[in-house]
Amino acid sequence: MVHRGPVKNRSCTDIFCLIIFIAFLVGWGIIGFYGFTLGDPQRLLHPTDSNGKICGVDETVKDKPNLFYFDLTRCADPSIFITGCPTPQVCVKSCPTENFLAIASAAEKGEALTKTKLICKENVTLSQASVKQLVDRGLCASYYLQSEPIAGRCIPSLTNMTTDSIIFSNPAIREVPIPIGDIVNGTIFLAQLLSAGQTFDRIFQDYSETWWIILIGLAVSMIISLFWIVLMRFAAGFMVWMSILAILALQGFGFWYCFTRYTELKEFPGGNNQTLAQIAFTTNLGTYLELTETWLAFVIILGISMVVIVLMLIFLRNRIRIAIALIGHASKAVASLMSTLVFPIFPWVFQVLVIGYFGAVALYAASIGKSTFKVVGPDNMTSTNCSCTSDSVGTCIPLGFEQICSSQCPGAICKFFETGGNFYVTVIQIYNLFGLFWGLFFVSALSEMVLAGAFASWYWAFDKSRDVPFYSLTNSFFRTIFYHMGTVAFGSLIIAIIRSVRVLLEYLDRKVREYSDTSCSRAMMCLCKCCFWMLEKFMRFVNRNAYVLCAINGTGFCESASEAFSLLLRNVVRVAVLDKVTDFLLFIGRLVIVTSVGILSFYVFTNRIHYINEYLPPTHYYMVPIITTVLGAYFISGLFFSVYAMAIDTIFICFLQDTEMNDGSPEKPFYMSQELMEILGKKNKS
């Protein structure tokens, strides 16, 4: 059979999987509509008082956007990060602007003036009781401190909060016992919990001031990425051999140094000739470096690794030459099809849309349902022993709880716990998470198949300067859309299922650690997670090559995967060498780009380049734009090098097919480059 590249007459593949994927998307859209209709994210983004009302949102508290805590001493516990602060919480128009003690103020300034300053629960009639009675019944706060709103919560300032502060200077006030330490601790815990709001504001300000500098840094990373790919085209062989020689040189220097240290310690009078087994475990690593046995172990390890690398170079030198030639071949393909470097932007946009839809559905679904209230005891723990609870999990109804249950549950309150949390919401979130995995892997697989079709068209053009289709990438895109969306859905579904199992194992691992943290259970969970991690890596490798053969031959997923696996198994040595050499080169490339951009951005944002300091805006956290620029550079370099890696994988598959299906005759000529034919000792006959 004469092979002429991607077949033109092909049929649709894996249609059933495409139907399943479309049905899944319809279901994903339905749960999204359900969440957007019934959910209200403001329940999660705004503070909620003890009655479940959203401050600044619900009708009765619309003019009260801030949340006030009655007793900050109840917040001095790390459990507030999970259960919240177990003290009455009410919505207020503004946070307190002064320090106030209710009982002391009533004794000094009178009942009438003190009641005007009280912060109380809703629907409390102040005229029917004294200040002391209102405080003792828990209807009004016994004290409050000068506070400021942080993320919508009233948090006291820690400044001047000592026994010498103004609030404690009055003798009448000093007679009231005030737990200053607990107040300070509670304030610290709340500040740690809620100060993220101010931090996010400052980070947002930094972004708004430095966005143009970050864009310049990303543009620089794009230019460096392009330059590196061009350099790989002309100097791939030089870079590979120099990297190997550099590794050997470093190992040789290490071998010489370790052998010298071993000789010095062995010949030194009174040297430490103890063995590693005789030395007890110690964190002082210098102790081990004084042993001759340590340096002997280093000598043996370095010597064996050097021998292994030298033997690989001797016996696999021809394989490495093939790998280098294929890398150069891939560089020419990328240079010939420059549109492929821009193409990854489009799947990236779709992946961002998938992540955005997932986040929106998750947010709205989490706010579906009624508010849940639970009884919280004096020990800051959720109580299930109170007879006033509605069920075994300690839920309650806040209306009238204190009047009805104060004797049965002394010191307990009915506190808002969460919104939603029912069975249907859990199912929606699981469906939504699986949709995230399948959607992301689908877009990634579609991108890989489109690129594979374009590079395969380039390889199977006998005269690369004349026979390459002008719209190779566009043709490959429409071929994939019209014929192989089912194959893309099939392959991505397999990876999505494996990833979901891995997430489930992580969840089970946490539960096992909570209830049965034994060595056996940890070992079993670790083994399961390791097995599924390797399974995902293997299937992603199989899928990638299956997409290449599907793009070339137009066959279904199973047939393409089987043929690709057999083809690679027959050339397992070539596969191993090429994979490692390619990974190493791409790693070096991305490391150079990210490191260069990171160092440059560090010098810029720390004002170390004096010529441009006057143009730079001040920042609250200079590491924010630096980290953003570095992550952006890593992502951009990943876009370029993912295209490069796909070109190498596609051309390698085409190369293996070329060597097996063609013999160099006029009827079956080789399509590989002249350099590859010289390495393999092959040539095309006239």
Mean pLDDT, rounded, for 45-65: 81
Highest averaged pLDDT of the listed ranges 239-243, 296-300, 436-440: 436-440
- Residue 17: per-residue pLDDT: 94
- Give the chain's mean pLDDT: 78
Q: Please check the confidence at residue 162 and state whether its pLDDT lies above 50.
A: no
Q: Please check the confidence at residue 23 and state whether its pLDDT lies above 90.
A: yes
| Higher pLDDT among residues 437 and 329, named by residue | 437
Mean pLDDT, rounded, for 399-403: 59
Q: Please check the confidence at residue 506 and state whether its pLDDT lies above 60.
A: yes
The pTM score is: 0.71
Q: How far apart are the first and last CA of the chain?
A: 20
Mean pLDDT, rounded, for 61-68: 87
- Residue 169: per-residue pLDDT: 41
Query: Which H or E run includes 340?
Result: helix 339-342
pLDDT digits (tens, 9 = 90+) for 207-217: 778 888 888 88
pLDDT digits (tens, 9 = 90+) for 138-147: 788 888 888 8
Q: How does DSSP assign 449-501, residue by residue?
A: HHHHHHHHHHHT-SSTTTSS-TTHHHHHHHHHHHH-HHHHHHHHHHHHHHHHH
> How many Cβ atoms are within 10 Å of 139's Cβ, its own excluded?
19
Mean pLDDT, rounded, for 638-648: 85
**For the chain, how many residues are written?**
686
d(CA 612, CA 29): 50
d(CA 147, CA 163): 18
| Higher pLDDT among residues 380 and 103, named by residue | 103
Mean pLDDT, rounded, for 549-555: 90
Q: Please check the confidence at residue 41 and state whether its pLDDT lies above 90.
A: no
Tell whether the torsion through CA atoms of 428, 430, 431 and 437 is positive or negative: positive
Q: Please check the confidence at residue 180 and state whether its pLDDT lies above 60.
A: no
| Higher pLDDT among residues 610 and 20, named by residue | 20
Q: Please check the confidence at residue 18 and state whether its pLDDT lies above 50.
A: yes
Q: How does DSSP assign 579-600, residue by residue?
A: HHHHHHHHHHHHHHHHHHHHHH
Tokens 């106030």 belong to residue: 100
pLDDT digits (tens, 9 = 90+) for 474-489: 999 999 999 999 999 9
pLDDT digits (tens, 9 = 90+) for 308-337: 888 877 877 777 777 777 777 888 888 888
pLDDT digits (tens, 9 = 90+) for 260-300: 888 887 776 555 555 555 555 554 555 666 777 778 888 88
| Higher pLDDT among residues 404 and 339, named by residue | 339
| Higher pLDDT among residues 334 and 534, named by residue | 534
Q: Please check the confidence at residue 369 and state whether its pLDDT lies above 90.
A: no
Domain layout of the chain by residue ranges: 59-194, 370-419
